[in-house]
Structure 1
Amino acid sequence: MPLPLDFPDLAALDLFRSVVDLGSVSRAAEAHGVAQPSASSRIRTLERQLGLRLLERSPTGSRPTPDGQLVADWTVDLLRRADDLAASVASLKAEQSGLLRIAASYTIAEYLLPPWLETFLADRPTDSVTLEVTNSRAVLDRLASGAVDLGFVESQNVPATLDQQAVAHDELVPVVSARHPWATRASVDLAELATTPLVLRERGSGTRAALEALLAAHGHDPPPSALDLGSISAVRIAVVNGSSPTVISRLAVADDLTNGRLAELNVPGFSIERTLRAVWPRRTELSRLASALLATLPMDDVTAPST
């Protein structure tokens, strides 16, 4: 059955739902990247179209009327399906254009994906790949929004809404500059490491989450931060040239350990091995290019090197 000509547009319903969730038109307008007067006008238009008063407005914010709450509840499934449609259309367009959209966390993006993608694209001259490099949490967000077709994460906590495939093994190791006093120590106690300011990745990083989980399992609080940095390369450079320890992927520092720029610490009780994973939305058929890429990555061939 055709929809009424004055049926409200999905963007207005999405904005209204945000007002309900955030408690004010101004916060919803900011979340949607529109001016508050424009957001207010769109809400009033929505009320006229539906013939219902949706919001009770006050100097401290806005809350839904009883009718507004019903409408907000009814929009949840509609907006979810609209998001699914938008993501599916974007994926279809990317597939037809021969484009594979990937988001990957830093360790995988910097040390594994470049040779994988070079090999993958070698005999696909008409296909292309875009790669967004970010932390594991943001990769999951990009997948949820439909902005990418395939993700690669270091996080061991993959949501149940995603399917996954192991693509590599990695290990986190505690290291210091070769000039650091700890570099010549036979061992460093885990409690001492836990209370020493470290060079850390930003919150949302799979590396940082894994370290905090290990320390918590041994009864320690998260370590103090000497410096928070947004990429694994920045952490590596800071430690090679600085005076603070870090915990970092062995992939990132294998050459530094071999060449003596960094020293690996012997910390009894410290062991963080992790599986690096490809992830994509559950119950979603992988695109032709995503399936083809995963087929080129057998686990036995991509285990992180040891030193």
Structure 2
Amino acid sequence: MTLRSLDLAALELLVAVDDHGSLSAAARTLSMAQPNASRALGRLERQLGVTLLQRTTAGSKLTAQGTMIVHWARQIVGDAESLLRVADGLQSSRAAELTVGASLTVAEHLMPRWLGEFRTLHPDVTIHLQVQNSTAVVTRVESQDYDVGFIESPSVPKTLHNITVARDRLVVVVPPQHPWTRRRRPVDAAELAATPLLVREPGSGTRTTLDVALAAYDRADPLLELGSSAAIRTAVESGMGPAVLSTLAVADHVDAGSLRVVDIEGLDLRRSLRAVWRPPKQVAGPAGDLIRIARRDSAARDG
């Protein structure tokens, strides 16, 4: 016999026989049919090679050997109950907290609205929002540091499940005085690729989307790599050069006139913003609710 084959339920039944004086009383206490209880203890006797019960027409009681075994069974059952209580406490504690990882664009422009609605739904859940680039978010979800992540990257590792929660588009932005704003001939993808650009750091979803879109072209070295869309936006407004950013990050500045959008011929920069999480496929609890809020919000805005 091995630990793996030890029947914990049968040990619990044996302890109940000792507590209540008979197999029938023990079976009633555990809401078990007496024939099933008798079979369970019979299997335990065969596994242990010890007679545990003295069976008579008046009922079944513990043998002397059974009385010795029940002492150890009681400790095992007690330890198992303690383990379950600890696990339940950990689960309840974790259920009261939600650690979310989000890319910079999502965190700055979408997450505040999503978390506001989430707070109404789950006022007792403590939310920990961690803001990093998409590659870092994926890594932290895989390592179980985050319960759920929201990213901009065009691809997701097979170790994680994902679902699209919103749609976005990257656009080329320049300051109003830039020569591209006065051109009659449109800028095409090859010219954009050959132009030194202000770009996000490697690992950012915005950078990855741009790199994938221009993979077929010879690329100029970046003019400058910066760690946030806000920093790039400021650099573009100061006249340093063009950049490719999310419409979410530049919409207000385009409306105010400090940035101009330049259409690029032959280049599709639409992308999906995704939620990612570890198996199982169906995400439940607060994490699942946050994903549903994000999808519902996107559908409302698109509609």
The TM-score range, normalised by the shorter chain, is: 0.5 to 0.7
Paired letter, 1:150: V
Task: Structure 2: state its 5+ residue gaps.
Answer: 4-86
- Structure 1 equivalent of residue 23 of structure 2: none
Instruction: Please report how far the alpha carbon of residue 152 of structure 1 lies from its aligned counterpart in structure 2 after TM superposition.
Output: 0.4
- Structure 2 equivalent of residue 229 of structure 1: 226
Task: Structure 1: state its 5+ residue gaps.
Answer: 3-87
Q: Per-residue CA shift, 1:98-137, capped at 9, x if unaligned?
A: 1110001111111100111012103433212111111111
Q: Is the 8 A contact 1:168 1:276 kept in 2?
A: yes
- Structure 1 equivalent of residue 217 of structure 2: 220
Paired letter, 2:172: P
Rounded Cα–Cα distance in structure 2 between residues aligned with 1:137 and 1:302:
27
- Structure 2 equivalent of residue 155 of structure 1: 153
Q: Is the 8 A contact 1:176 1:245 kept in 2?
A: yes
- Structure 2 equivalent of residue 241 of structure 1: 238
TM-score by length of 2: 0.66
Paired letter, 2:272: T
- Structure 2 equivalent of residue 181 of structure 1: 179
Instruction: Please report how far the alpha carbon of residue 277 of structure 1 lies from its aligned counterpart in structure 2 after TM superposition.
Output: 0.6
Rounded Cα–Cα distance in structure 2 between residues aligned with 1:89 and 1:195:
58
**Percentage of identical aligned residues:** 41
Q: Per-residue CA shift, 1:3-59, capped at 9, x if unaligned?
A: xxxxxxxxxxxxxxxxxxxxxxxxxxxxxxxxxxxxxxxxxxxxxxxxxxxxxxxxx
- Structure 2 equivalent of residue 211 of structure 1: 210
Rounded Cα–Cα distance in structure 1 between residues aligned with 2:286 and 2:93:
10
- Structure 2 equivalent of residue 195 of structure 1: 194
Aligned equivalent of 1:270, options 267, 283, 288: 267
Report matched runs for 1:245-260 at 5 Å: 245-260=242-257
Q: Is the 8 A contact 1:176 1:243 kept in 2?
A: no
Report matched runs for 1:6-17 at 5 Å: none
Instruction: Please report how far the alpha carbon of residue 93 of structure 1 lies from its aligned counterpart in structure 2 after TM superposition.
Output: 6.3
Instruction: Please report how far the alpha carbon of residue 284 of structure 1 lies from its aligned counterpart in structure 2 after TM superposition.
Output: 6.1
Q: Report how many residues are paired.
A: 217
- Structure 1 equivalent of residue 278 of structure 2: 281
Q: Is the 8 A contact 1:180 1:243 kept in 2?
A: no
Rounded Cα–Cα distance in structure 2 between residues aligned with 1:174 and 1:281:
34
Q: Per-residue CA shift, 1:192-242, capped at 9, x if unaligned?
A: 2111111100001111111111112xx313442111011121111211223
- Look up the SS of the partner of 1:292 in the other structure: helix
Instruction: Please report how far the alpha carbon of residue 251 of structure 1 lies from its aligned counterpart in structure 2 after TM superposition.
Output: 0.8
- Structure 2 equivalent of residue 92 of structure 1: 91
Q: Is the 8 A contact 2:171 2:263 kept in 1?
A: no
TM-score by length of 1: 0.65
Instruction: Please report how far the alpha carbon of residue 283 of structure 1 lies from its aligned counterpart in structure 2 after TM superposition.
Output: 2.2
Q: Is the 8 A contact 1:169 1:302 kept in 2?
A: no
Paired letter, 2:229: I
Pairwise CA RMSD: 2.5
Rounded Cα–Cα distance in structure 2 between residues aligned with 1:161 and 1:90:
28
Matched, 1:110 2:112: no
- Structure 1 equivalent of residue 127 of structure 2: 129
Rounded Cα–Cα distance in structure 2 between residues aligned with 1:232 and 1:294:
24
Rounded Cα–Cα distance in structure 2 between residues aligned with 1:93 and 1:239:
48
Rounded Cα–Cα distance in structure 2 between residues aligned with 1:131 and 1:171:
24
| 4+ runs deviating over 6 angstroms | 88-91
Rounded Cα–Cα distance in structure 1 between residues aligned with 2:90 and 2:136:
19
Paired letter, 2:192: L
Rounded Cα–Cα distance in structure 1 between residues aligned with 2:111 and 2:244:
22
Rounded Cα–Cα distance in structure 2 between residues aligned with 1:220 and 1:257:
28
Rounded Cα–Cα distance in structure 2 between residues aligned with 1:215 and 1:91:
47
Say if 1:126 and 1:198 are closer, same or farther in 2 by CA, change over 3 A.
same
Paired letter, 2:257: G
Paired letter, 1:280: W
Rounded Cα–Cα distance in structure 2 between residues aligned with 1:156 and 1:89:
38
Q: Is the 8 A contact 1:90 1:146 kept in 2?
A: no
- Look up the SS of the partner of 2:275 in the other structure: strand
